[in-house]
Amino acid sequence: MNFELKTFDLADAAREKCDALIVLVNDVFKPGKDVLSTLLTQALKAGDLEIKVGKSLVLYHTSGVAGVRVVLAGIAAGSAKDVHKAVVSAVTAVKAPKVKKLVICFASLPEAAAVCAAVIAAAEAGYVYTTTKSKPDGQLIQQVLVGLPNASKFKTAFDRTLAAVLGIEYAKEWANRPANHATPSLLAGAARALAKLPSIKCEVLGPKEVAKLAMGAFIAVAQGSEEPLRFIVLHYNGASKAQAPTVLIGKGLTFDSGGISIKPAAEMDEMKFDMSGAASVLGVFRALAELHPAINVVGLIPSCENLPGGRSIKPGDVVTSMSGQTIEILNTDAEGRLVLSDALTYAERFKPRVVIDIATLTGACMIALGGVRSGLFSSDETLAASLMAAGESSSDLCWRMPLDDEYAEGLKTNFADVANVAGRAGGAITAAKFLQGFAGKFPWAHLDVAGTAWKSGLAKGATGRPVALLLQYLLATQK
């Protein structure tokens, strides 16, 4: 899908030839003398259109309008959230095989955040996964033209959003692939492909290199599968070597059966999404290559499968992590924190300014926050505030959760330095407390995206979150 930003008003929009025209009208709309203004005024007066979000009017072959289909859509006060919802609904309403060119215009001058939301929403509504289909339909909408008065004012925000869309769709692509089409080795191939882009380098460590690093926790999770593990290291170098990097760590479990502590069969197929944290890191690097910001970023992806087998770890086993800490594995389905613990220790070598790990870590976080906000845990007030702000401005929301020391009491064990699970209560928090024990040498944050990284049901598929949040945060760190 190609996006273009163009300067025009409602009169210009009426003259633009396209397969579908979406007109977004807010509560401060003042009509002009053009045909679309007249149409909006009449529809509002008749009660056929309301400015409330979710209210729209679909027209076909309207006199005086070059677009074949017209959607008049209310966006209330015109917030980014309202625009996103309205555009997704409008695009869905007109999406058909003959709709190749789409025009989106605002009846009143919007805020930059609303323009960005419109672009992301159009990309989201038009996205189609095709990789493993024998006769894919492909993406129906090929071109999206966004029309605004004084479009040059929005160019920077527009360009950033296009880069975010590329990153989000790269993350979706890899998270949506079935596990046999997204093995650790194939995930490493996706990272190597990114290294062909400007300013990005990639290194992939295999079982021998990981064994030399003494990543005992990571190795333990991987040993039940015949697929060899991969530890992926990405570098984006946009600033001087003297500038400390931000390190992003993405959980890369390309399939998680739970291991010996096997999951229920129902919906286990969705455990292909357990590498969504890794996919988001890949997506961020795809966007960075497009924008070339003056920052340094390191991406770490510990990738493997968690399967039951003769060599699988067992409940009660004790393993030694790269940090030297011993871990009693009480539940083999709490494997994400094991692979992340070694990645957190590996991150120390980069002397990072901050470290952020992203993981579909706990069902408990999904219960706590649902699919609206990702869980945010952090040992650093400034970092937590910056991530919260990035989430709000990008509409990729998170919510800060506690890290009181009392939550770590359940991780105590008689047989190792720490257990990998506590009780059921506060499960997302105790998982974060486990990770915090390996993140004491740098400012650290953990994003639990178990509820936000994918959708189930009829809309099943990856969301690409939290690429937008992370990109917004990274761009805000430029000096």
How far, in Å, CA of 15 to CA of 364, rounded?
52
Helix axes 155-176, 276-291, angle to 10 degrees: 150
Q: Do residues 374 and 390 lie in contact, with contact meaning Cβ atoms separated by under 8 Å?
A: no
E strand segments, 296-404: 296-306, 317-320, 326-329, 354-359, 374-378, 398-400
Of 81, 153, 263, 353, which is the active-site residue? 263
Per the annotation, the verdict on 263 as an active-site residue is yes
Distance CA 364, CA 431 (A): 10
Question: Distances in Å between the alpha carbon of 409 and those of 265, 337, 404, 429?
Answer: 32, 17, 10, 12
Which of 172, 230, 286, 337 is an active site residue? 337
Residue with tokens 């069969």: 265
DSSP string covering 19-71: SEEEEEE-TT----SSHHHHHHHHHHHHTS--SSTT-EEEEES-TT--SSEEE
Q: Which tokens is 182 given?
A: 């997204």
Q: What does the alpha-carbon distance between residue 348 and residue 300 come to, in Å, rounded to a whole number?
A: 12
Q: What is the CA radius of gyration of the chain?
A: 24
Q: Where are the alpha helices (DSSP H) in 266-335?
A: 276-291
Cα–Cα distance for residue pair 253/457, rounded to 1 Å:
22
Mark whether 441 is an active-site residue.
Answer: no
With CA atoms as reference, report the closest residue to 139 among 125, 127, 131, 122. 127
Q: Which residue has the tokens 């937008």?
A: 468
Distance between CA atoms of 331 and 421, rounded to whole angstroms?
A: 7
Query: How does 159-188 read in b/e, with b if 16+ C-beta sit within 10 Å?
Result: ebbbbbbbbbbbbbbbbbbebeebbbebbb
Phi, psi angles (nearest 5°) of residue 193: -65, -35
Q: Where are the alpha helices (DSSP H) in 261-335?
A: 276-291
Catalytic site positions: 263, 337
